[in-house]
Structure 1
Amino acid sequence: MHNTSRSAEAPEGSGAAGDETKESPEPAKRPAAKGRNALFSGLASAAVIIAGAGAVVAAGSVLPQPVSSRTVPAGVSAVPAGSSVGVCPGPARLLEGTDAGTDPQFSPKSATAASSVTGAVLSAGGVLPASRLSDLRGTTTVEIAKEQAQPSAAGNSQEILAGVVAGRSVDQVSVLSADALASQKASAAAAMKFTATDGDLQGTAAANCLQPSNDQWLAGAGTTVGRTSVLVLTNASTTPATVSLELFGSGGQIQAPGSRGLLVAPGTSRPVVLAGLAPGEAQLSVHVRSAGGPVAAVIQQSVLRGLTPGGVDFIAPGAAPAVRQVMTGVDIQDPGQVAALTGRSGYEDAGPALQLTVPGPSDAVVEVKLYGRDGQKALPNGGVMTAKAGTVTEIPLTGVPAGHYTVVASSDVTFVAATRVTRGLQDTQPADVAWAASGVRLGSQHVVPVPQGGQRHLVFGALDNRATITYSAITADGKVRAPSTADIAGGTTASITIPEKVEDSDVVGYVVSASGDAAYGALLLQQEGRNDVSSLAFLPAAAGQETVPVTLSY
């Protein structure tokens, strides 16, 4: 039982911390004078302490500063180079149906469908980095190069060799990986190519094997009748990934239940049918963000117009939102025939078009320029239009002569862009479709894998001023051939036909470098006698050794 009496000299709440849990005896009565003397004595002691502290501070201000407290310039520390990893999508599959939600089932592939991976890894100092093609479980299917001794400083750094994978048949997701060498990330790249001449997935669909990321944008999907878009998320890391999707359509951002918190376990792929999240969207862009492990994202898209196949493609991520986006490798057919076809019901999306996605809160005033072989081509309204904030806007690219083009879009706010490429001018014949993703400015030593078969073109676009492109063929025997040079005038697009062989060895890739003004590149794949088409933007070149600032302090 607590004592309810308190001293008048000790107000409530002023006791020590333990006063509330332990009874204290009532304090003894003291004379008032003695209490005042104690108070004055305490104040005097406090004054002495304060004065002493001031003296110490004053003394410290005139003494030399200790070395450990002086300002030390920030140094830099090298970041260990990581492995080069490229995740290649699996073969295109025909969507059969869903049990519930957005998890798909797939029917068997067609009788003529074939899928293969082609890639190359470059040497450093005459030494090839340890590299391999494997499945998602980590089982090696092709050993490109074994681990070797690190290159010495006296090694011949000018000699470039290549380890290659030439048209390796695949039936599932595959991974090209190359270890770092001499503290440098390996220069390596691969591409997967799917072809079919029968069934609903007729056409050619090719995709670069992409470095996994925690943030990426994919533009060009559609979920209207006859359009099937399946987002495939692949986690090649050892860390679980939790993925959230942001969806944008022509009417604005789409709030879709089931688009957040998608778990992708390590070493697995998860397909998501986009029609289950955003049905009836003619233009659809997807922002993929992951927490934990990075993922590789690609959209398998196919078109069926009635009973006539309208094409198949892998939509790959493009450049992050920016005030300028550049897409090259855009093939445009005869404008009169395109206009006649797109005027028919169900064929509105059978012609070339630019799609712009503005994720921010402000509208974008966009200027579009179309560069062909002999310069810029005029577009309606001078190529200037407004793209609404939070929406996808489609701009037809019609009325220009047939040929290969570079599309440049610039604005006052950041946006995402992709360009649709179509082949086929008869509504009674199978057609094909491809999406040219926005690419990166060319620098030094880009590895460009070239899938085998069909017609293949290197397409380069130079913007305002002249650019010089150097390109060296990589052949199946592991040689990097003598370089060729292309001088490209500003505001034009150049197309170079790739030969099947160089000195009796198959061409499986190129090493491409650029100098001068900004230049961009893409690989355009077609098939003689068919309407097949696919466009692959060049991948970024391998970065050199990176450093981070380090500040020493305590």
Structure 2
Amino acid sequence: MPRDDTPATTTPGAPGPEASAQELPASPARRKALPSAGRLGGVLTAVVLVAAGGGLVSAAALSPQDSASSRPVEAPLAAVPAGSSIGVCPGPARLLEGAPVGTDPQFSPESATARSDVNAVVLGSSGGVLPGSRLASLAGTALVELAPAAPESGSSAPAAPESASSAPSGGPPVQAAGVVSQRGVDGVSVLSADAQNGRQAAAGAVMRYAADDGDLRGSAAVACQQPANDLWLVGANTSLGRTAVLNLTNASSSPATVSLDLFGAKGQIQAPGSRGLLVAPGTTRSVILGGLAPGQERLSVRVRSAGGPVAAAIQQSVLRGLTPGGVEFIAPAAAPALRQVVTGVDIQDPAGLADLTGKPGFGDAGPALQITVPGSADAVVAVKLFGRDGQKALPGGGAVTAKAGSVTEIPLSGVPAGPYTVAVSSDVSFTAAARVTRGLAAADPVDFAWSAASARLGSQHVVPVPGSGERHLVFGAPEGRATITYTPVTADGKIRAAAAADIAGGTTASIAVPAEVEGSALVGYLVSAAGDPAYGAVLVQQDGRPDVSTVAIAPGAAGQEQVPVTLGY
């Protein structure tokens, strides 16, 4: 595999556009890859099937054929066993200090009050058996063991504790729930759950960072991510006082060679050092985006990996002079498509926003939608904003032309305060994310979050919620009508009584998350949607503080896949 051996360079001092490092190697302490036997088993099965298909083709090619009787045959589908569920949680936000040439990045303590923790939920079978599952460090050290791996032969895995398999009377079949509640972390962590009964385990985790002081004051929450080979991240900023660090994590046992495609406000950016970045198994590699694309107020990154899949997140922070402007983990958005939906967009008072964003240096302190068009044709975009009581007209109208190969920003201020869902459609594929802001006083610290375009809600999603703050489930139904069922899961492992919300088309609903249910801390929900397309996110704020975070609801677990086996040569 190609490898970039160009040494990293960093200008000592404060981070930002002055930093010239283009890429930063992974920490040498992280070398042990996590096991992924389930996934490898599926891949090997597919390889055997393809090899078998090749043998059939060879035999057919050697035997006499009657051309008159030949006819096209559809490629058969072969079942591939489901692999393990993997969720990679980024490490806590850290203040970049700079690094000498050719060494790992140096980070200062983020603050005296910073804290980071993980909440996670793993579901078992209807018979009350949890899949083998654990929360571990990237190096493989177990942090929380939820259930041991099932033995390869002989007796079945032990059943979950009685408290973890209780279900409300008259409810769905009894199901086990393994729970991680506010487990403190100081680095990258990985939630893994083995496949069970031929299906991928339903599992999810969320990491939250919060600090009351320091340059990285604020809060940031991010869903722990299933690694992939093609990811889009929207919302980075490398202009003066803004720092964006892309963290690439390889939790597999195969090396990953990563290439970055960078898109700015004026088009695609050709950056030396953005190709052939090697991420070794069981490591994280950090890339200072200001070294690749300095001075970009709007920057989107496409991450493509050859070899092992990777998880990617951008640590974005703002410092206006000596005043903290917030911190966030930018998570991947939905892949480019003709329609995107973003929810969890909470907008503040329009008059206060107009006053704040009119001040020098505060142009990015207001809500906005960013659209990235990766193709060669401009996109004619229609933007609709749906609040609690229906659609709200944007002051600048809802029709915009987004230039090809660039990032276009559309302000979302000027509408009444409240939670919104943004529906965007175009004649050209694009991806999108919305900036959410909190705080209206220029002299005080403010915070921001990015809510990425997400997939339509399906039949079952595991939605862990951060362990503190004012939390809300935000659901939007751009058209038609949808019914959302949300079932609490508490820290004692119990699946509580379900509730339902009927959402009218063209509206957004916000549901407060309680701190406890029947005396036990709430850790997450099981969410299902029926009816017309609906979308969801978790919005986290803090009473009396300008803190804000958003977490998109991840897709549900995949079942047994079927892949076509082509008999040809």
TM-score interval, smaller chain: 0.7 to 0.9
State the 1:421 CA deviation.
0.4
User: Structure 2 CA distance, aligned partners of 1:91 and 1:541?
Assistant: 26
State the 1:101 CA deviation.
8.4
State the 1:108 CA deviation.
1.7
Secondary structure at the counterpart of residue 397 of structure 2 = helix
User: Structure 2 CA distance, aligned partners of 1:335 and 1:256?
Assistant: 38
2:86 maps to which residue? 85
User: Structure 2 CA distance, aligned partners of 1:450 and 1:115?
Assistant: 14
1:142 maps to which residue? 144
| Contact in 2 for aligned 1:120/1:163 (Cα 8 Å) | yes
State the 1:551 CA deviation.
5.1
2:211 maps to which residue? 196
Secondary structure at the counterpart of residue 106 of structure 2 = strand
| Contact in 2 for aligned 1:94/1:107 (Cα 8 Å) | yes
User: Structure 2 CA distance, aligned partners of 1:256 and 1:392?
Assistant: 17
Which shifted more, 372-381 or 386-395? 372-381
> Are 2:339 and 1:352 equivalent residues in the alignment?
no
> Are 2:235 and 1:233 equivalent residues in the alignment?
no
1:288 maps to which residue? 303
State the 1:389 CA deviation.
0.5
State the 1:510 CA deviation.
0.1
State the 1:115 CA deviation.
0.3
> Are 2:552 and 1:537 equivalent residues in the alignment?
yes
| Contact in 1 for aligned 2:82/2:558 (Cα 8 Å) | no
1:512 maps to which residue? 527
| Contact in 1 for aligned 2:126/2:176 (Cα 8 Å) | no
2:133 maps to which residue? 131
> Are 2:385 and 1:383 equivalent residues in the alignment?
no
State the 1:482 CA deviation.
1.2
State the 1:123 CA deviation.
1.1
**Max Rg structure:** 1
Q: Which digits, 9 at most, give the CA deviation of each residue in 1:395-453, with x for residues without a partner?
A: 00011000000011110000110100000000111100100011110001100001111
**Closer/same/farther in 2, CA of residues 553 and 297 from structure 1, 3 Å limit:** closer
User: Structure 2 CA distance, aligned partners of 1:521 and 1:381?
Assistant: 26
State the 1:147 CA deviation.
2.9
Which residue, 289, 304, 315 being the options, matches 2:319? 304
Q: Give the letter for the 2:269 counterpart.
A: I
Pairs within 5 Å for 1:197-346: 197-346=212-361
User: Structure 1 CA distance, aligned partners of 2:393 and 2:530?
Assistant: 28
Q: Which digits, 9 at most, give the CA deviation of each residue in 1:64-106, with x for residues without a partner?
A: 97xxx88766433211110000000000001112334896321
1:523 maps to which residue? 538
Q: Which digits, 9 at most, give the CA deviation of each residue in 1:320-362, with x for residues without a partner?
A: 0011111100110000000000000000100000001111000
> Are 2:511 and 1:496 equivalent residues in the alignment?
yes
Q: Give the letter for the 1:140 counterpart.
A: A
> Are 2:442 and 1:427 equivalent residues in the alignment?
yes
User: Structure 1 CA distance, aligned partners of 2:102 and 2:157?
Assistant: 51
Secondary structure at the counterpart of residue 110 of structure 1 = coil
Q: Give the letter for the 1:122 counterpart.
A: L
| Contact in 2 for aligned 1:102/1:276 (Cα 8 Å) | no
Pairs within 5 Å for 1:361-372: 361-372=376-387
1:45 maps to which residue? none
1:105 maps to which residue? 106
User: Structure 1 CA distance, aligned partners of 2:318 and 2:106?
Assistant: 18
| Contact in 2 for aligned 1:215/1:287 (Cα 8 Å) | yes
User: Structure 2 CA distance, aligned partners of 1:73 and 1:150?
Assistant: 40
Secondary structure at the counterpart of residue 336 of structure 1 = helix
Percent identity, aligned pairs only, is: 68
State the 1:302 CA deviation.
0.5
User: Structure 1 CA distance, aligned partners of 2:309 and 2:335?
Assistant: 16
**Closer/same/farther in 2, CA of residues 341 and 119 from structure 1, 3 Å limit:** same
2:191 maps to which residue? 176
**Closer/same/farther in 2, CA of residues 551 and 293 from structure 1, 3 Å limit:** closer
2:37 maps to which residue? none
Q: Give the letter for the 2:140 counterpart.
A: G
State the 1:480 CA deviation.
1.0
Secondary structure at the counterpart of residue 97 of structure 2 = strand
Pairs within 5 Å for 1:23-102: 74-100=75-101
| Contact in 1 for aligned 2:480/2:504 (Cα 8 Å) | yes
Which residue, 552, 556, 561 being the options, matches 1:546? 561
Secondary structure at the counterpart of residue 532 of structure 1 = strand
2:25 maps to which residue? none
Pairs within 5 Å for 1:155-170: 158-170=173-185
Which shifted more, 117-126 or 411-420? 117-126
**Closer/same/farther in 2, CA of residues 198 and 553 from structure 1, 3 Å limit:** closer
**Closer/same/farther in 2, CA of residues 388 and 97 from structure 1, 3 Å limit:** same
Q: Which digits, 9 at most, give the CA deviation of each residue in 1:270-327, with x for residues without a partner?
A: 1110000000000000010011111100000110111110000000001000111111
| Contact in 2 for aligned 1:115/1:195 (Cα 8 Å) | yes
| Contact in 2 for aligned 1:72/1:551 (Cα 8 Å) | no
Q: Which digits, 9 at most, give the CA deviation of each residue in 1:208-264, with x for residues without a partner?
A: 100011100000000011100000000101111111101010011001111111111
Q: Which digits, 9 at most, give the CA deviation of each residue in 1:467-500, with x for residues without a partner?
A: 0000000001111111100000000000000000
Q: Give the letter for the 2:83 counterpart.
A: G
Q: Which digits, 9 at most, give the CA deviation of each residue in 1:110-154, with x for residues without a partner?
A: 1100000100001122211000001111121110112342799xx
State the 1:546 CA deviation.
1.3
Gapped runs of 5+ residues in structure 1? 1-58
**Equivalent residue pairs, number:** 490
User: Structure 2 CA distance, aligned partners of 1:501 and 1:60?
Assistant: 71
Secondary structure at the counterpart of residue 436 of structure 2 = strand
State the 1:161 CA deviation.
1.9
**Closer/same/farther in 2, CA of residues 379 and 72 from structure 1, 3 Å limit:** closer
Which shifted more, 181-190 or 138-147? 138-147
Aligned-pair RMSD on alpha carbons? Answer: 2.1
Which residue, 456, 462, 482 being the options, matches 1:467? 482
Q: Which digits, 9 at most, give the CA deviation of each residue in 1:152-210, with x for residues without a partner?
A: 9xx99822221010000000000000000011000000010000001011111111100
| Contact in 2 for aligned 1:330/1:404 (Cα 8 Å) | yes
User: Structure 2 CA distance, aligned partners of 1:250 and 1:75?
Assistant: 46
Secondary structure at the counterpart of residue 354 of structure 2 = helix
Secondary structure at the counterpart of residue 531 of structure 1 = strand
Q: Which digits, 9 at most, give the CA deviation of each residue in 1:19-63, with x for residues without a partner?
A: xxxxxxxxxxxxxxxxxxxxxxxxxxxxxxxxxxxxxxxx9969x
**Closer/same/farther in 2, CA of residues 379 and 477 from structure 1, 3 Å limit:** same
| Contact in 2 for aligned 1:102/1:274 (Cα 8 Å) | no
| Contact in 2 for aligned 1:95/1:104 (Cα 8 Å) | yes
State the 1:382 CA deviation.
3.1
Q: Give the letter for the 1:158 counterpart.
A: P
Which shifted more, 74-83 or 258-267? 74-83
Which residue, 488, 495, 498 being the options, matches 1:480? 495
Q: Give the letter for the 2:78 counterpart.
A: S
| Contact in 2 for aligned 1:455/1:525 (Cα 8 Å) | yes
User: Structure 2 CA distance, aligned partners of 1:83 and 1:231?
Assistant: 26
Secondary structure at the counterpart of residue 82 of structure 2 = coil
| Contact in 2 for aligned 1:72/1:552 (Cα 8 Å) | no
| Contact in 2 for aligned 1:124/1:151 (Cα 8 Å) | no
> Are 2:426 and 1:414 equivalent residues in the alignment?
no
